[in-house]
Amino acid sequence: AEVELWSQYGGERELAAGVIDVKSMYLETAEDVAERICTVLRHVNPEKLYLTCDCGFSASSRGLARAKLRALVAGAQIVRTELGGA
């Protein structure tokens, strides 16, 4: 993705990052998600970052969608712990 472009918007804007690929059947691990979040955090202030999937889950099975959302939550928790905001 073109995450580095987010640096142009400075620290004032709130931004949402799609860190889950809903078009892929690959189930991201919490570590995969944490790595994506850390990539975004090189360009966005943590207080201004919202995490989401990159699109809707309409084409995904309910089970896969839930598992991907659990990975999103777990990945975010890893990063919060690393940043000291558990």
Residue pLDDT, tens place only, 35-64: 999 999 999 999 999 999 999 999 899 999
The predicted model scores a pTM of 0.90
Place of tokens 């084409």: 59
How far apart CA 4 and CA 23 sit, in angstroms, is 23
Give the rounded percent of residues in the chain with a pLDDT score beyond 90.
Answer: 78
